[in-house]
Amino acid sequence: MDKKILNIITIFVLLLTLVSCGKKTYTITFDLNEGVGEAPAQTLKKGELVTEPTEPTKEGYNFLGWYLNDQPYNFSSKVNKNLNLVARWEDKLAELKYYSYLSENNPVVTIKVLNFGEMKLELFPEVAPNTVNNFLKYVENNKYTGSSFHRVIKDFMIQGGHVGVPYGNIKGDFSSNGVTNNLRHYRGVISMARTMVPDSATSQFFIVHKTSPHLNGNYASFGGLISGFDVLDQIANLQTDYNDRPLTNVVIESVTVELNGYEPSAVIYV
């Protein structure tokens, strides 16, 4: 081959190599936004596509996707600049039927159940103030410690609390008893147990396992679960005897409260 032609080919190859090496590259970073997962940065050439990372997780939240400048990122778009994609999350509590009642100013109660785990419930003073104050009085005086969930009906509710009447009966905070209460008995709602007498509630309560419309307006609902639905399900699925008493003793180790600024009032008894 002619030496001149060989030199020309060599120079051409070198130029192509230089052009290739000099092609602009961009860095794509991923902000997990307090989530957990594997999302390493990617270095891409202009016109290449970003590889979508494995979906991250965040306890108590649903992953909505990767966002760029508050807009969902389109992974079919070709790269032409550096990018920082941010994971966006939605609070799972938003899925709750009683989400509109939740507030950072509401008291939060934690029920610790031996061998089962914990359930956290947010109480709604604006819904049933006297019922909430009554419940908190039992909590603050440790009256629920050592009690149990002694009545369990799958797909209906689990009932627990102190057996006896240490303080007295309270007026039933429900519509058919002349008290406005629009909180329906959705799954996870806590409500007061009573006899056929409207103003017979004392300490016993129940947590709804499956939405029960027939209770609406006739029982004093006053809060709802915000975590521990798995514990509710475990208890509700226990085998029971003919009196609906679980064959496994379901002991309430403790019930504690974070008032979050709420100041309980004196309980009004009937």
Q: Which CATH superfamily is domain 99-258 in?
A: Cyclophilin-like (2.40.100.10)
Contact 179, 270 (CB under 8 A): no
- What pLDDT, on a 0 to 100 scale, did the predictor assign at position 3? 62
* CA–CA distance, 78 with 168 (Å, rounded to integer): 70
pTM for this one? 0.78
- What pLDDT, on a 0 to 100 scale, did the predictor assign at position 166? 75
pLDDT digits 0-9 by tens, 218-236: 999 999 999 999 999 999 9
- What pLDDT, on a 0 to 100 scale, did the predictor assign at position 17? 53
Which parts of the chain have pLDDT scores under 50? 18
Contact 30, 82 (CB under 8 A): no
Question: What is the architecture, at CATH level 2, of domain 3-92?
Answer: Sandwich (2.60)
- What pLDDT, on a 0 to 100 scale, did the predictor assign at position 60? 84
Domain with CATH 2.60.40.4270 in the chain: 3-92
- What pLDDT, on a 0 to 100 scale, did the predictor assign at position 70? 82
- What pLDDT, on a 0 to 100 scale, did the predictor assign at position 1? 55
Among residues of the chain, what percentage have pLDDT more than 70?
A: 90
Residues 6+ apart with CB under 8 A from 247: 238, 239, 240, 241
Specify the pairing of strand 252-258 against strand 108-113. antiparallel
- Dihedral of CA atoms 217, 218, 221, 225 in degrees, nearest 10, equals -100
191-197: list long-range contacts, CB under 8 Å, 24+ apart.
191/215, 191/219, 191/220, 191/221, 191/222, 192/131, 192/135, 192/219, 192/220, 192/222, 193/159, 193/161, 193/219, 194/219, 194/220
Domain with CATH 2.40.100.10 in the chain: 99-258
**Residue 231 has which token pair?**
């514990």
